[in-house]
Amino acid sequence: MKKILLTLSACVILFSCKQANTNNTPTQSTNDYQKLYDKSMAAKDYQSAITAVQLLLLNDSTNDLRDTLPELYGAVNNVPACLLATNETLKRLPNDEKFLNLKLLCLQEMGMIEEQFTMLQNLFQTTGKAQYIAQIAAIQVASGNLKEARTTIETILTKYKGSQDKLEVFVDERNKQQVPVEAAAWNMKGYIFMQQKNLEKAKECYFKALEIYPDFVMPKRNLDMIFSRK
């Protein structure tokens, strides 16, 4: 009986050692999944890259590639999955601005205005960056909250007067233009006056935007619209 027990104990120890070695050494499948990921990324085949990462995570849920999922889902326009993966990453990296901005894009795509607005307020308070308060003003304008928008824009014009900070402004659906934050604020203020049918005040704002940045496309277009009406 003792011999049998000793034999069983030896088998248990041997089995445990083999298990430990298996856990510490990458399996062939893990290596294959990594190769699939690398090849997929090189080919910009993001859907296959997502599959490779998910397979890797089945073997090791802490694999470093888990934090590539938010951007990969974004690349294939799977917005709900992108938001879910981004939230998971933010649990580990709550102050990572790249992932916070990715979450903002997801919220925007999903039409979650209140959540987006709250995030922008928090980001502006913690970073003081002009891009966030400008986005707050843009949401207020788009939502028809013109009084609040004007207050926000006045804050921008005061806080960033003479600033060299720049913002990306959409020229059309595909193209953007980098412009000084102060010029962008004057353009938004002009747009508000246009909505209120105060074309003289709107023109003043657009001309001020162009004084700051003469190549600014949007106020030029808006002025063309005003003059064409006359």
Q: Which is nearest to 220 in space by CA: 209, 230, 56?
A: 209
User: What six digits make up the tokens of 109?
Assistant: 């795509």
Residue predicted with more confidence, 15 or 41: 41
8-state DSSP, 179:
E
Give the pLDDT confidence of 56-99 residue by residue, as tens digits: 999 999 999 999 999 999 999 999 999 999 999 999 999 999 99
Give the pLDDT confidence of 122-167 residue by residue, as tens digits: 999 999 999 999 999 999 999 999 999 999 999 999 999 999 899 9
CB atoms within 10 A of CB 1: 5
Instruction: Report the alpha-carbon distance of residue 193 to residue 191 in Å, rounded.
Output: 5
* pLDDT in the model for residue 84: 97
Domains (ranges, CATH) in the chain? 23-110 (1.25.40.10), 112-230 (1.25.40.10)
Residue 146, burial from CB neighbour count under 10 angstroms (0-12, 13-18, 19+): middle
CA-based R_g, the chain, Å = 27
